[in-house]
Amino acid sequence: MNIDSISALHELLGCEKPKHPLITLIDFDAIHPTEECFNNELLLNFYMVSLKNSPDCELKYGRRYYDFNEGSLIFTAPGQVLKAGGEQSESGKPTGWMLCFHSDLIRGSSLWRKMSEYSFFEYEASEALHLSDREKEIVERIVREIQVEYSGNLDSYSNELIFSNLEVLLNYAKRFYSRQFITRANVYKESVVKFEKLLQEQCIVEIIEKAGMPSVKGLAQAMGYSPNYLSDMLKKETGKTTQEYIKLRVLELAEHLLLTTREPIYRIANMLGFEQPASLTKFFKAQRGVSPVDFRKRHRA
């Protein structure tokens, strides 16, 4: 079901009419889903930040499960699919809220230009942000400030204050995710080792020539993460994103073939999944500062 507006979301969830056409805060206690909505997949065409308090629950990180008792914060970008309804924990109905805002609300603003920095909007729900009690207090204070602002009499300052509070909320989320990566360092160190082994296995010339270079999406799927989460985790642990790892591996293979074989450049390009020899030359020069031909001449002289 395509949900294109805040008012349509309110109607499906059985809530009273929204106080603002482009942003809303809905408490789970106020939700009474219609039959049409319940247990259906929803395609939401706006951003959502949702806090769920659900004791005695497990959350999956990659291929592992972790217990958590504090709230979990989930972020979704426009165009993502969610499942309405869902299971309740043994302790009862989960509590929390969902803050939804339409792209039109922030379009053209400084926040709009920064949205690409908040990569967690593309994480999977299983990669939620666990909040400590103190972090949850901070998040809920900011969210209630946003609610107060959009619910009151709007004036020339309203949008600016809503934008600034949204930006503060998202910047705190970046900080808290950074903390979460650090506190789970031991788990992620194992994931880095597994990733490097997986990349090594997939980056064999014979495999690349047949199936092409591994993609960020394919590697993430094999690891059990979303592409953005895997890249952010690797960046925190090693200083390199998934794409940077792939580029480094391609460079290593290219250097090896240039120095240990007499294959022409067009053939090496084909072996490494480049459509044109010029693409390999451009890539190699960007990484090493010289063309493949010049590299071969210098190091095989």
Extents of the domains making up the chain: 2-183, 186-300
CA quadruple 143, 145, 150, 151: dihedral, nearest 10: 100
In this predicted structure, which of 7-11, 22-26, 170-174 has the lowest mean pLDDT?
7-11
Contact 50, 99 (CB under 8 A): yes
Query: Beta strands of 8-63 (E only): which ranges?
Result: 23-27, 41-44, 47-53, 57-61
d(CA 125, CA 226): 9
Looking at the domain 2-183, which fold is it?
Jelly Rolls (2.60.120)
Q: Evaluate if residue 92 carries a pLDDT over 60.
A: no
Percent share of the chain, pLDDT over 70: 88
| Among candidate residues 86, 177, 167, 164, the one with its CA nearest the CA of residue 131 | 177
Mean per-residue pLDDT of the chain: 87
pLDDT in tens, 154-178: 888 999 999 999 999 999 999 999 9
| Among candidate residues 246, 262, 245, the one with its CA nearest the CA of residue 214 | 246
In words, the CATH class of domain 186-300 is: mainly alpha
Model-level pTM?
0.77
- Under the banding of pLDDT at 50, 70 and 90, the label for residue 83 is low
